[in-house]
Amino acid sequence: MKNGQINRTGKPMRIEVVENVQKVNDRIAAVNRALLHEHGVRSFNLIGAPGCGKTAWLERTLASLPAGLVVGVLTGDLATTRDAERIAAHTPHVAQINTGRGCHLEAHQVQEGLSRLDLEVIDLLVIENVGNLICPVSWDLGQDATVGMFSVTEGDDKPAKHPYIVLAADLLLLNKTDLLPYVPFRPARFRADLAAIRDDVPCIEGSVATGAGFDAWLDWVTRLVVRVEDPLEEARS
Ligand code: MG
Ligand code: ZN
């Protein structure tokens, strides 16, 4: 049967293949999640467009968190190790995942990345996804939380144009607010679009350059790490 032909279930063949691949992905993601929890590691998946400032945001985060909190980082990138090299200045617990032409991370790549980290000593795992606001949202990696990042240089229409990251996120970040005087970004429009999609997701507006918003951000990260195990959540997974 060729791609696009309708099979007995009435769905195009290609869609069924994608669904099966995602089922396998979700199983591996569940294994990742169990492994992380077994080691007492909390995690978040950081998703944002290329150039929104994900790596810079993480650099400042790593420099600002209490020294006793050990952070491991997996950085997804198409070809280079540049992000991992920048992160390595702040923590020895970093592994690069090169995706080649892949435009998102999948659970099996994270599983392989976890085998290169010392989960015994890590308290928090950060996964910096490939720069892309679209498909990374659909691939569970086994993280506890999903963080979506926008920046004012991308324009105020991004939540409206990319509602799926807004729907999936536990927290949103709006970066580069120090550049507001120089770019045609209307904060009121951005906030109204967000609220129209979802009014229950927090959005921290801030800047890597100035540190604005970092008190709230670091507080969120710290609460993620020390969060008391939720028995209902454990039963569901
Ligand atoms: Mg990066
Ligand atoms: Zn993709």
pLDDT, tens digit, for every residue of 141-165? 999 999 999 999 999 999 999 999 9
User: Which ligand lies nearest to the CA atom of residue 54 in the structure?
Assistant: 1
User: Which ligand lies nearest to the CA atom of residue 100 in the structure?
Assistant: 2
Span from the CA of 89 to the centroid of ligand 1 (angstroms): 14
pTM for the whole structure: 0.89
Q: Are 126 and 225 in contact (CB under 8 A)?
A: no
pLDDT, tens digit, for every residue of 44-70? 999 999 999 999 999 999 999 998 999
Span from the CA of 138 to the centroid of ligand 2 (angstroms): 9
Neighbours of ion ligand 2 (CB under 5 A): 103-104, 135
What are the structural domains, with CATH classification, of the chain? 41-234 (3.40.50.300)
Reading the chain (237 residues) residue by residue, the pLDDT tens digits are 445 555 555 666 677 777 888 999 999 999 999 999 999 999 999 999 999 999 999 999 999 999 899 999 999 988 888 999 999 999 999 999 999 989 999 999 999 999 999 999 999 999 999 999 999 999 999 999 999 999 999 999 999 999 999 999 999 999 999 999 999 999 999 999 999 999 999 999 999 999 999 999 999 999 999 865 554 555 555
The Cα 128–Cα 32 span in angstroms is: 16
Measured in degrees and rounded to the nearest 5, phi and psi for residue 74 equal -110, 125
Q: Is 169 exposed, middle or buried (0-12, 13-18, 19+ CB in 10 A)?
A: buried
Cross-sheet strand order for the sheet of 94-98? 94-98, 71-77, 124-128, 42-48, 145-151, 171-175, 203-205
User: Which ligand lies nearest to the CA atom of residue 133 in the structure?
Assistant: 2
Query: What is the full DSSP assignment across 76-139?
Result: EESS--HHHHHHHTT-S-EEEEE-TT-SS--HHHHHHHHTTS-TTT-SEEEEE--S-SSGGGG-
